[in-house]
Structure 1
Amino acid sequence: MGYAVVLGEALVDLLEADLGGELIYRQAIGGGPLNVAVGATRLGGEVQYVGSLSDDVLGDRLAAFLRKAGVGIRGATRVPVPTTLAVTTFEGAEPTFTFYGEPPSYALLESDDLDDRMVGDASVLYAGSISLLREPFRSAARKAWRVRGPIRVFDPNVRPTLLPDGGSVTALRDLVEEFFATADLVKLSSADAAVLYGGADPDQAADQIRGLGARAVVVTCGALGAYVSAADGGSMLPAPSVAAVDATGAGDSVMAALIRRLLADGFPADLAGWHRNVRFALAVAGLVCERPGGATAMPTNDELTARWGALL
């Protein structure tokens, strides 16, 4: 089993909460790619996080959190700007994010900061999320994506609050389709698909993305489960029934679980192989939804077994 390289943002979430009738914001480690790196590591994978971290006290906490979780950070660079904050509000268990901090501390990775050998020797390369909206990170991600060798996985992780008009949506679609075209796996949410493809259903979006060149597509659909599309067909898989308290990081945990399976078993040969991987990923996400908070909610294999019994 090799290792994964995860490119993207690490930041601090301020999570809306109630304390004795008073609205407060609880600080939590966050960022979709950071969640993915931590999630895959807790499931037994080896991961190197590659991105930019502030040199302030919050950046120190992010670095310490990654180290404690077992995530490698030799590909991370420190930058002299304040750590970006993501203020997180909720409709039920579903989060909405508003970002504060300019320039964003998470998007300052330069192309020259990349270790091409680290990327090329990896078994899996993850890219995506909001870091791609900004330079210099976008150029660094493109450079990493061109390196031959790893299984390439991508998650657009669309954030509507960062897309103020139709032109920005079109620009994002053009950008992510550039990565879709050469991805081995694309994971996105049904909400992402609706934004990118004008309200398209999961199967329609998956067909569109596979038509661009992606080898497999997984569209998560919240409590309904996930739609899986591979070369030999597509189908919907149900999610386990849970009492969700916080869906923050649930989609990231699906990607983390899929990366873990790719590290262990390689690229599935058919739709049946993807079914095994996605059932595992949905069980991981179900447990995450029963806990508060993103990265700290990512489970270990022992916790999964305690909750669900033996998993495929």
Structure 2
Amino acid sequence: MGYAVVLGESLVDLLEQTTGGELIYRQAIGGAPLNVAVGATRLGGDVRFVGSLGSDVLGDRIAQMLRGVGVGTLGVKRVPVPTTLAVTTFEGAEPTFTFYGEPPSYALLEPADVDTGLVGGADVLYAGSISLLREPFRSAARAAWAVPGPVRVFDPNARPTLLPDAAAVAALRALADEFCATADLVKLSSADAEVLYDGATPEAAADHILGTGARSVVVTCGARGAYTATPDGAAMLPAPAVTAVDATGAGDSVMGALISRLLADGRPADLAGWQPYVRFALAVAGLVCERPGGAVAMPTNQELIARWGALV
């Protein structure tokens, strides 16, 4: 089994919760790409995280957490700015994120910081999320994406609080299309689809993304499951029934699970090949939703078997 390179942001989530009648914020290490890296690692994958990390005590905690889980950190660049905070509020189990920290600690990776040998030797390369909204990270991601060799997986992870107007949405749509055009897999949520493609349904968004040149698309739809599309067909796969307490990181766990399967078994050739991968990923996400969210919610294979048995 080879390794995956996950390129993107790490930060600290402050998760809103009520304790003893008082509203407090629980600190949790997060950032979609970091969650993906941790998720794939806990499922048995060999993952190297590439990104910039603040030089403060919170950055130290993130680095320590990554090493403790087993994520490779040789591609991490420490930068002299405070670690970005994402204040997370909820309506039910669904989170809304507001980001604090300028410049963002996660977006200071430069093209020269990208080890092209590390990227080229990978079986899987992940790029995406909010770090793509800022330079110099965007140029660094383009440099990594241009390296031949890995299976390329992309997640736009559109956050409305970072898209203040129609021009910002249009710019992200164009950027997403650029990465989708050469992606082997694009994973996005139904909420991402609505933001990026003018209220598009999962089906319409998947059609658009396949039209750019992407080889497969998975659109997560919360409790409904995931819409999976390839040039040879499409299917809506149901999610297992759970009582969700926190959906933070659920979509990231889907991507982490898909990367773990790509590392173990390679890229499927068609829709039929993708379906067991996506069913496995939905089982992972279901278990994540039953736990307080963030990277710490990512399960192991043993935990999946204990929860779902033959389902996985």
TM-score by length of 2: 0.99
Q: How many angstroms apart in 2 are the aligned matches of 1:9 and 1:149?
A: 23
What is the rounded CA distance, in whole Å, between the counterparts of 1:149 and 1:293 in structure 2? Answer: 33
What is the Cα-based RMSD across aligned positions, in Å? 0.6
* Distance across 2 between alignment mates of 1:119 and 1:16: 37
For 1:187-266, what aligned pairs fall within 5 Å after superposition?
187-266=187-266
Q: How far, CA to CA, are the matches of 2:180 and 2:119 in structure 1? A: 19
Quote how far apart the aligned CAs of 1:232 are. 1.1
Task: Give the aligned residue type for 1:62.
Answer: I
Equivalent residue letter for 2:205 = A
The one-character-per-residue Cα deviations of 1:50-92 (angstroms, maximum 9, x if unpaired) are: 0001110000000000000100000000000000000000000
Counterpart amino acid of residue 179 in structure 1: F
Distance in structure 1 (CA, Å) of the matches to 2:139 and 2:273: 34
Distance in 1 separating the partners of 2:36 and 2:218? 15
Q: Aligned pair 1:182/2:188, yes or no? A: no
Q: Name the residue aligned to 2:132.
A: 132
Q: Return the alpha-carbon distance in structure 1 between the equivalents of residues 181 and 304 of structure 2.
A: 34
Residue aligning to 1:26: 26
> How many pairs does the alignment contain?
312
Deviation at 1:258, TM superposition (A): 0.3
SS state of the match for residue 76, structure 1?
A: strand
In 2, Cα distance between the equivalents of 1:281 and 1:56?
Answer: 34
Letter of the 1:40 counterpart: A
Q: Given residue 159 of structure 2, which amino acid in structure 1 is its aligned partner? A: R
Q: Aligned residue for 1:288?
A: 288
* In 2, Cα distance between equivalents of 1:94 and 1:43: 24
Task: Name the SS of the counterpart of 2:74 in structure 1.
Answer: coil
CA separation in 2, counterparts of 1:244 and 1:281? 16
Q: Secondary structure at the match of 1:51?
A: strand
Shift of 1:293: 1.8
Report what 1:118 is aligned to. Answer: 118
The equivalent residue for 1:99 is 99
Rounded to whole Å, the distance in 2 between the matches of 1:231 and 1:156 is 20
Give 3-state SS (helix, strand or coil) of 2:310's partner.
coil
1:269 is displaced (CA, Å) by 1.5
Letter paired with 1:255: M
Amino acid at match of 2:271: L
Provide the residue aligned with 1:87 in structure 2: 87
Give the match's secondary structure for 2:127: strand
Which amino acid is 1:160 matched to? P
Letter aligned with residue 239 of structure 2? A
- Deviation per CA, 1:18-51: give whole Å up to 9, x if none: 0111100010001000000000000000000000
| One-letter code aligned to 1:95 | P
Q: Which residue of 1 aligns with 2:268?
A: 268
Structure 1 unmatched ranges of 5 or more? none
Superposed CA deviations along residues 248-307 of structure 1, whole A, max 9, x for unmatched, are 000000000000000011110111111000000000000000000210000000000000
Helix, strand or coil: the match of 1:229?
strand
Q: Distance in 2 between matches of 1:223 and 1:150?
A: 31
CA displacement 1:131-183 (0-9 Å, x = unmatched): 00000000000000000000000000010000111111001101111001000
Q: Letter of the aligned partner of 1:213 in structure 2? A: G
In 2, the alpha carbon distance for the partners of 1:272 and 1:304 equals 23
2:132 and 2:37 map into 1 onto residues whose CA distance is 17
Runs (4+) off by over 4 Å: none
The separation in 1 between residues aligned to 2:50 and 2:273, in whole angstroms, is 29
TM-score normalised by length of structure 1: 0.99
Provide the C-alpha distance between the structure 1 equivalents of 2:196 and 2:78, rounded to a whole number of angstroms.
33
Output the CA distance in 1 between the equivalents of 2:150 and 2:21: 50
Partner of 1:8: 8
